[in-house]
Structure 1
Amino acid sequence: MSSAPLHDSGHEEPLTGEAPLAGGISPQELKDVFRNYPSGVALVTADDGTRAIAITVTSVISVSAEPPLLVFSASALSSSTPVLLGSKTVVVHILTDENAELAKLGATSGIDRFADTDAWERMPTGEPRFKGVDTWIRGEVVNHFEAGTSTLIVVHALEAMPNPERTGQPLVYHDRTWHTIGDGSRIPDPRRA
């Protein structure tokens, strides 16, 4: 596993707080734009051998089908990030409205996220996995990149539990609150009219 700064094409300085890029919008302007951009919600768990962590993320994206790669970001301010960076594998739980309490659990600071021992278990490979989440991906951390005040973590998917017959509706984070996407939110496809 290697760690390298993320570079902009043609730009030699890393995209970190150490070397500010010329111009650009303010941090608040970027936040204002993205608070109106809905994101899926996932809970990432890992264990680096010192402790287990669970963190809620809204930045999971699939970046390649061959090889199967996904990416998410973790804030440098999070106490969970060092464990993520020291872990060889992670479990990405794709959450539904039925798992909203897990999203809140992973987003709350200063609590023992594993206190309810009935809510989670160790996978045969050792990673902590929360029960009741019907879609998840277990993967190997293959790279990470510093990107400003965050770290992008690249994961090679090794095992998955996709559930096309899930009972819950997708959980989405939008405008600083949780939402669901259901049949009532579907927009008819004009190409099929």
Structure 2
Amino acid sequence: MTTTTIDPAEFRKVLGSYPTGVCVITALDGEKPAGMVVGSFTSVSLDPPLVGFFPDKSSSSWPLIEKHGHFCVNVMGSDQQDVCRSVAAKGAEKFVGVDYVLSDNKLPVIANSIASIECELYSVTEAGDHWFVLGQVLKMETVRNEDPMLFHRGRYGGFAERM
């Protein structure tokens, strides 16, 4: 494999030019919810139905989610910045003020997310300083028909159609 030197700050700047959707990955840690905000969520396969995301290896939330063996992808609407800021915070108070219900699969589904995708952990593969997590979809639904939250150049925002 070719070895190149890429400045990490330049890497973030250039890749930050590409907007991503924003999801909150949730699971239970014992009786309480665990969660993390990701902008790296993607569909992977139709047969079997697989989705994926890339948690940082230094994440303190990912091991809690992985241990549960199941997770829910909550697709955030453009009006849910407060939820993202809460769940992205460090510490045990991530879900204070965040409304959610437990699904039949015992997964926290965030209220008013625009879609939820409940998964069983399929595989975890090392990918540099991140993990590549695949989940097999067990259940999914569109909750409301709103614009998604986007992350671009370090800021949250929404979709604006151009005529």
Same fold per superposition (TM over 0.5) = yes
Aligned-residue offset at 1:48: 4.7
Query: Superposition pairs for residues 31-180 of structure 1, below 5 Å?
Result: 31-49=12-30, 51-116=32-97, 119-163=99-143, 166=145, 168-180=146-158
Question: Aligned with 2:80: secondary structure?
Answer: helix
Letter aligned with residue 181 of structure 1: F
Summarize the Cα distance change of 1:50–1:162 in structure 2 as closer, same or farther, 3 Å threshold: closer
Equivalent pair of 1:40/1:171 in contact (CA under 8 Å) = yes
TM-score, length of structure 1 as denominator length: 0.77
Query: Superposition pairs for residues 10-21 of structure 1, below 5 Å?
Result: none
Q: Which has the larger radius of gyration?
A: 1
Aligned-residue offset at 1:49: 3.5
Percent identical: 24
TM-score, length of structure 2 as denominator length: 0.89
Equivalent pair of 2:73/2:117 in contact (CA under 8 Å) = yes
Letter aligned with residue 65 of structure 1: L
CA distance in 1: counterparts of 2:80 and 2:148, whole angstroms = 10
**Any unmatched runs of 5+ in structure 1?**
1-10, 12-20, 189-193
Q: Which deviates the most, 82-91 or 107-116?
A: 107-116
Runs (4+) of structure 1 exceeding 3 A deviation are 48-51
Aligned-residue offset at 1:47: 2.0
Equivalent pair of 2:114/2:148 in contact (CA under 8 Å) = no
CA distance in 1: counterparts of 2:43 and 2:128, whole angstroms = 21
Equivalent pair of 1:51/1:83 in contact (CA under 8 Å) = no
**Any unmatched runs of 5+ in structure 2?**
none
Aligned-residue offset at 1:111: 4.6
Equivalent pair of 2:86/2:95 in contact (CA under 8 Å) = no
